[in-house]
Copies of this chain bind each other. A is one copy, B any other.
Amino acid sequence: MQQVEHFLDANADRFVDELTEFLRIPSVSADPAYAGDVRKAAEFTRDRLVDAGLTAELIETDGHPIVYGEWLQAADAPTAMVYGHYDVQPADPIDQWISPPFEPTVRDGRIYARGATDDKGQMFTHVKSVEAWLKSVGKLPVNVKFVIEGEEEVGSGNLDVFLANNKEKVACDIAVVSDTSQYAPSMPAITYGLRGILACEVTLNGPSQDLHSGMFGGSVANPANALARLMATLHDEQGRVQIPGFYDGVVPLSEEERKRLANLPFDEASYLKGLGVSATFGEEGYTTLERRWARPTCDINGIFGGYTGAGPKTIVPASATAKISCRLVPNQDPHALTEALRKHLESNCPTGVTMEFSAYHGGDALVFATDSPWMNAAAVAIERSFGTAPVLIREGGSIPVVTTFRDLLGVDTLLLGWGQDTDNLHSPNERFSLDDFAKGIRASAYLWDELGR
């Protein structure tokens, strides 16, 4: 292990240089204009795995390629599969970035770029830890597989097909994913629960083109008026979701878990300040952490229709659209609830407009046992690197593939976040602390050691 530690120290700067190069690639999977860059990011990932000493390849899909790599020479040792993604969220609103999203810039020990933490930077820690073992010791204490996809930000549409068709290839004992966060700076965490998700888009169509609101206004339904009316049916005043059956399957929080969550340090005033709001808002009877991690939501992610330029333009819009997503908890069924949402919208759709509904991805929520040997190995590895034992937390976001790993491969996933939840994921000025990057690489290196015991 000393050899590994020495290698990590000696190569720390190079690792940052490589990450910088990786972050320069605008691998925005949602926008077809960036398809070439998405592929470049896949090739970059594959090449670094090969450099590290793994065999690695691009596997073509109907969308962006999957990078697969493996090193399987640790006989009788368990097999860990690292999952991550090389694609990133769109960078807009671009004008709110202090430095350009694809020109990585270090300020105050943090590297700023789209994908810095989500997920290029965090995923890359495992590539580098494996390299450190193979280039110093010459072997790993465990077998490792890497499955790094390029469609995580657009619903992982082709990953499930790949996994289903390659069950043997990806078979493992434990999955490892670094796409979550520490609980706070110098407070590393293991995430044992994730919310599920459903997402959809609804468009209300009215006249065949925008109409002069003077000549026609008042005589035909206005799709923007109608959409507001329809969206207002989704919640009551306290923000409780009004889709019929929405809360039916929800597993209530145990007293023990509520106590554990309540023991986590949480400064509501600084939370609000960080978000730029003056008050929390949400379901009555729950703490802010419970609302974020363990209670379901329904959010309009985007809304648009009619004239959106400067100044007035007095029209009746031809259509109006809302993008909606719900965060789910065990045991809400995303597919049943997507259907319930569609029915709710249909039955509340104002007269005079026609509704189009398209469902995007859906995924189950998950909660893992907190006392498994895997969990214990990860806790020790993290404490060895960060100097402090990790806290156990849940996460409000969704990582649908973790459900697939459970259902298809029968394995738990270690969700080991090296970043901070203040790192502006999905927002302008995304960043990753270079100290967290280095500690993440080291914790990953210790993890292989602990899993191999």
| Chain A interface residues (CB < 8 Å from chain B) | 30-31, 89-90, 92-93, 96, 154-155, 181, 195, 197, 199, 201, 206-222, 224-225, 227-232, 234-235, 237, 239, 275-283, 288, 291-292, 295-317, 320-323, 325, 327, 350-352, 354, 360-361, 395-398, 421, 424-428
Contacts and interface: CB of A to CB of B under 8 A. Distances in A.
Given A195-B214, A303-B305, A327-B218, A313 B397 contact: no
A322 to B, nearest CB: 8
25 contacts: A89-B313, A90-B309, A199-B312, A210-B427, A211-B426, A214-B327, A214-B397, A216-B275, A218-B296, A220-B277, A220-B280, A225-B239, A225-B298, A228-B229, A299-B314, A301-B306, A301-B317, A302-B315, A303-B305, A303-B317, A308-B321, A311-B360, A312-B323, A312-B361, A313-B426
A92 B309 contact: yes
B281 A219 contact: yes
User: Nearest 4 CB-CB pairs, A to B?
Assistant: A208-B276, A214-B397, A228-B231, A281-B352
Please indicate which of the listed interface residues A96, A314, A325 has the most CB atoms of chain B within 10 Å of its own CB. A314
Contacts of A232: 228-229, 231-232
A324 to B, nearest CB: 9
Contact of A214 (B212, B221, B222, B395): B395
A427 B154 CA distance: 38
A222 B280 CA distance: 11
Nearest to A30: B311
A62 B90 CA distance: 44
A220 B154 contact: no
Contacts of A361: 312
B218 A396 contact: yes
A300 B352 contact: no
Contact of A283 (B96, B211, B218, B397): B218
A93 B89 CA distance: 33
Contacts of A317: 300-303
A275 B207 contact: yes
Contacts of A275: 207-208, 211, 216, 220
Given A211-B275, A301-B306, A327 B217 contact: yes
Contacts of A235: 225, 229
Contact of A96 (B209, B396, B425): B209
Nearest to A294: B218
Contact of A301 (B221, B283, B314): B314
Nearest to A118: B212
Nearest to A399: B214
Contacts of A222: 299-300
Nearest to A155: B312
Nearest to A221: B281
Contacts of A396: 214-218
A310 B213 CA distance: 28
Contacts of A228: 227-232, 234, 300, 303, 322
A209 to B, nearest CB: 5
A303 B320 contact: yes
Given A224-B299, A304-B304, A312-B323, 8 more contacts: A30-B309, A90-B309, A154-B312, A218-B282, A218-B292, A300-B306, A301-B306, A301-B313
Given A302-B308, A307-B302, A312-B360, A213 B276 contact: no
